[in-house]
Amino acid sequence: MSNLKGFAFGIATSVTFGLIPLFTLPLMASGMLFDSILFYRFFFAAISLAGVMKVEKQSFQIDKRDIPVLILLGGFYTISSLFLFWGYNFMAAGIATTLHFTYPIFVALIMMTVFKEKTSWVTVFAILLAVSGVARLSIGDGELALNPVGVVIVLFSAVGYALYIVTVNKSRVHVMNGRKLTFYVFIVSTFMFLVKALMNGGLQPIPDGQSWMNLILLAIVPTVISNVTLVQAVHNIGSTLTAVLGAMEPVTAVCVGVLLFSEPFTSHVALGILLIIVAVTLIILNKYIQKSLRGLRHKWMVNH
C-alpha cells in the first residue's frame, strides 16, 4: 500500500510540474513578462507553503549560518526558473521542458568533475545519449530545427537546477526540513524577481481575472503541490524511483503543448525526447545497473 501511495505521489509530482506551460503560455500571451510572472508565482507559492506549514505546526526558525546557503540556493532556483521561462520564447514549451529534464546529466557531470565521483560506462553512455537527444531535437533533416541560442538558454536552466540539487545535498542545509527549505528558497526567489522586475520597468499589474487564476494555479499546482508530493513520494518509494517517475514531466509538457497550444510534434521531436528520457533514467539507475551486472558476473564466475 505504501508503494502504491509512493508511485501515485511520484506521478503526481512529475505531472503537476509538467503543467507549467498550461498556466504560463496564456500569461505570456496576455503580455506579461516572465520577471513579473515568476515574481507572482513564487510570492503566491511562498504564501501557500507558509499556510501548509502553519497548519502542520512546523517551525519557521532557522540557524543564522543557514542564511548564506539559502540565498545561494534561491539564486540557483531563480536562474533555473528564469532561463526555462526565457526558453519558451525560442521553442515549444514541451521541448524546452524536455531539455530542462537533462538536469540529472549535469548533476552527474558536477559530481564527476568537482567531487571526483567515479565515472562508470553507464554514465558515459547516458551522457552520449543525452547529447544525441539534444542534437536530434535541435537538428532536423540536416538543418537547425531549434534556435541554438534558445537551446543554450534552456540548458542553462538545467545547469541551474543541477547546482541547486548538488548544493542541497552537499551543504549544511541537507538536514533541514524539506518544506522549510523550499519556503525560504521561494522567499529568496520572490525577492530576486521583484528586484529584477523593478530594474526592467517595474512590476506589471495582473491584467485580468483569467491571469489571476493562471498565476494562482501556477503557484499552487506545479510549484507547491509538486514539492509537497515530491517529499511524500521520496518517503514512500525512495529518491531513485521518484526521480525515474520524473520522466512524466516532459511527456506531460509535450502533450499540453501539442493538444492545447498546437505545438509541432514530429518524428525528430519524438526521438529526441525518447533519447533524453532513456539517458536520464540510466543516470538515475546507474548504481542499480552496476550492482546487477556485478551480481551476474559473480554468478557466471562461480558457475564456470
- Residue 184: CA count within 13 A, CB half-sphere: 21
pTM over 0.85: yes
286 phi, psi to nearest 5 deg: -50, -50
Task: State pLDDT tens for residues 186-195.
Answer: 999 999 999 9
Cα–Cα dist 245/230, whole Å: 11
Of the listed ranges 75-89, 96-110, 223-237, the one predicted with least confidence: 223-237
- Roughly what angle, to the nearest 10 degrees, separates helices 267-284 and 248-261? 160
User: Domain residues of the chain, as ranges?
Assistant: 2-303
225 phi, psi to nearest 5 deg: -60, -45
Cα–Cα dist 124/267, whole Å: 25
Q: Which residue in 280, 279, 274, 60 sits closest to 165, CA to CA?
A: 280
Mean local confidence (pLDDT), 256-285: 88
- For residue 220, the tally of other CB atoms under 10 A from its CB is 18
* Statement: residue 142 has pLDDT above 60: no
Of residues 244 and 108, which shows the higher confidence score?
108
- Which among 6-15, 204-213, 272-281 has the top mean pLDDT? 204-213
Task: State pLDDT tens for residues 21-54.
Answer: 999 999 999 999 999 999 999 999 999 999 989 9
